[in-house]
Amino acid sequence: MENIANIFVKSVFIDNMIFAYFLGMCSYLAVSKTVKTSFGLGVAVAFMLTITVPINYLIENYLLCKGAMTWISPSFADVDLSFLTFIVFIAVVASMTQLVEMVVEKFSPSLYNSLGIFLPLIAVNCAILGGSLFMAERSYANVGEAAVFGFGSGIGWLLAIVSLAAIREKIKYSKIPKALDGLGIAFIIVGLMGLAFMGFMGIKL
Amino acid sequence: MQNKRKERIFLDPIFRNNPVTVQILGICSALAVTVKLQSAVVMALSLTFVVAFSNVIVSLLRKTIPGRIRIIVQLVVVAFLVIVVDQFLKAYFFDISKQLSVFVGLIITNCIVMGRLEAFAMSNSPKRSLIDGLANGLGYGFILIVVAFFRELLGSGTIWNYQVVPQAFYDAGYMNNGLMIMPPMALIAVGIIVWIQRAHQQRKEEGK
């Protein structure tokens, strides 16, 4: 239990997708103009991370790793498919987005209306693929930990995009040097927020 | 006329229409690998390779890919090239491949690659797509190298792992700026580059 809480806090604050690894930066900067839309995108990202990370965990550990397929037959002990990792992960991410889009459209039109436009964007959001790749690199002990890691990273991303959007809504009214307006200032704000988030470094539960 | 167009395809992405600072694409990986010049150069080369060749392949296939599933087809082409790069780095430059960790894999979702495939390769000949891919890769690499140069110089006092700040400076009380190694400073550095570039462009436009 302690371990799970630790992974969660770590993935939300310390290893924040945006501030520590810059993942999903493109849509982060492009969509963070108003709080409402950025909240929608944040929820969609968190949702997809929570789904894809555990699925990829299972695929990696039961199909791709060296000796992972021994559960089918002991003679597969030497099979190492890990070079396929990238292509399998991206296929899972792309097909899961498609699937989730269809399911949401069918069962909850209201959710689809608020979330739907963001889902296609997500297939190529680096945060989703990055979550799976980090999961593979850090080798979590079981699928539960991987799921908590995915969920935590998603929440961290949501937190980051909503707070940036709130700041950008206010900063519209300030006088900024013309050349710095828009993109330049957004970069610098994210940099400063990142510095603030570094204060969480080293926290351990 | 023909030549001039080619020149523009090549030069535009490097300066005037730089993918990183003007179009804001591919920032994710651009920032994370710029602590050291070496890893930035390797990353820039890998990305240039992937963009150029995926542009050519998709451009060759552009008439046969059905419109509805083109994203998946593009992803497969890109993922294949990235696997080639990753295996190559693991075989010959293991240390650097460890440093770059997941960011080589993340070239797959790098928006520059997908953006160029959608915007250029799907509607242009393979030869032009190759030039476009190379140019975009170089434009990305240019920003990466500038950021990495300053971060490594100010953060560790080295360039390409060679000590350039003389020992006498340290004896006189000079200290490496540890902040430059931290991730947030990469964002601020790119912000400043954007600022300089826009200010420069504005002056040029006003001068016209």
Nearest to A183 by CA among B79, B199, B206: B199
- Quote the mean pLDDT of chain B: 85
Half-sphere exposure for A52 (CA within 13 Å, toward CB)? 34
**What are the chain B neighbours of A195 within 8 Å (beta carbons)?**
182, 184
| Mean pLDDT, residues B178-183 | 81
Q: What percent of chain B has pLDDT over 70?
A: 97
The CA distance from A167 to B24, in Å, is 19
Q: Which H helix or E strand runs over B158?
A: strand B158-159
Q: Hey, where are the domains in chain A?
A: 36-156
- Judge whether B81 and B53 are in contact, CB under 8 Å: yes
B162: three-class secondary structure by DSSP? strand
Which residues of B make CB contacts under 8 Å with A? 24-32, 71-72, 75-76, 79-80, 82-83, 86-87, 101-102, 105-106, 108-111, 114, 182-188, 190-192, 194-195, 198-199, 202
Alpha carbon B192 to chain centroid, angstroms: 17
The CA distance from A128 to A55, in Å, is 12
The residue among A45 and B20 whose pLDDT is bigger is A45
- Judge whether A158 and A39 are in contact, CB under 8 Å: yes
Which residues, 6+ apart, have CB-to-CB distance to B206 below 8 Å? none
* pLDDT confidence of residue B1: 46
Complex ipTM more than 0.90, yes or no: no
Quick check: A21 and B109 CB within 8 A? Answer: no
Quick check: A129 and B106 CB within 8 A? Answer: yes
Quick check: A192 and B188 CB within 8 A? Answer: yes
Per residue in A1-32, pLDDT (tens digit) is 778 888 898 889 888 888 888 888 878 887 88
The CA distance from B45 to B171, in Å, is 38
* pLDDT confidence of residue B207: 67
Per residue in A120-138, pLDDT (tens digit) is 767 777 888 889 988 888 8
Confidence of residue A174 (pLDDT cuts 50, 70, 90): confident
Q: B159 phi and psi, to 5 degrees?
A: -135, 125
Confidence of residue A152 (pLDDT cuts 50, 70, 90): very high
The CA distance from A127 to B66, in Å, is 28
Q: What percent of chain A has pLDDT over 90?
A: 20
* pLDDT confidence of residue A137: 85
- Quote the mean pLDDT of chain A: 85
Q: What single DSSP character describes residue B159?
A: E
- Predicted structure pTM score: 0.86
Quick check: A21 and B184 CB within 8 A? Answer: no
Per residue in B78-135, pLDDT (tens digit) is 999 999 999 999 999 888 888 887 888 888 888 888 888 888 888 889 999 999 999 9
Confidence of residue B56 (pLDDT cuts 50, 70, 90): very high
Q: Is the pLDDT assigned to residue A73 strictly greater than 70?
A: yes
Q: What percent of chain A has pLDDT over 70?
A: 96
Per residue in A37-72, pLDDT (tens digit) is 888 888 888 988 999 999 999 998 888 887 777 777
